[in-house]
Amino acid sequence: MTVVSVILAIPGSEPSRISLLDSTCRPQQRDDTRALFSFRLDTCGTRVQFDYQHLTYENEITVENTIQSVEAPVKTRVTVRCVYPLSGLHKLFAYRRFEADTPGFGTILTRVPVK
């Protein structure tokens, strides 16, 4: 999965403190405005779900903010998903890879802590 996160849009974000669900998974490239993650779907804490119609891969980008709270550090979590229709998959989990007729489509959900 390849994801570009625009960290400039997150107030007080600290580019050096950005990771995925597995906190050891850091961006391949980053600057003050964005971060590029590229990782295999069976790594970095990626979750997989499927129903009768779709296969979904999901991970979270965690950004620690420079704005500190008295109780705990403020973190913003951005959920990224890539969804594939099961009907378009040729191989499913063969050697931890699959082939699809069409590219998956994704969504981004942002959770910002309430002050």
Q: Which domain holds residue 50?
A: 2-111
Give the CATH number of the domain where residue 79 resides: 2.60.40
Q: How many CA atoms lie within 13 A of 26 on its CB side?
A: 9
- Total structural domains in the chain? 1
Each residue's pLDDT tens digit, 81-95: 888 888 776 555 544
Question: Over the stretch 69-84, which tens digit does the pLDDT of each residue have?
Answer: 666 667 788 888 888 8
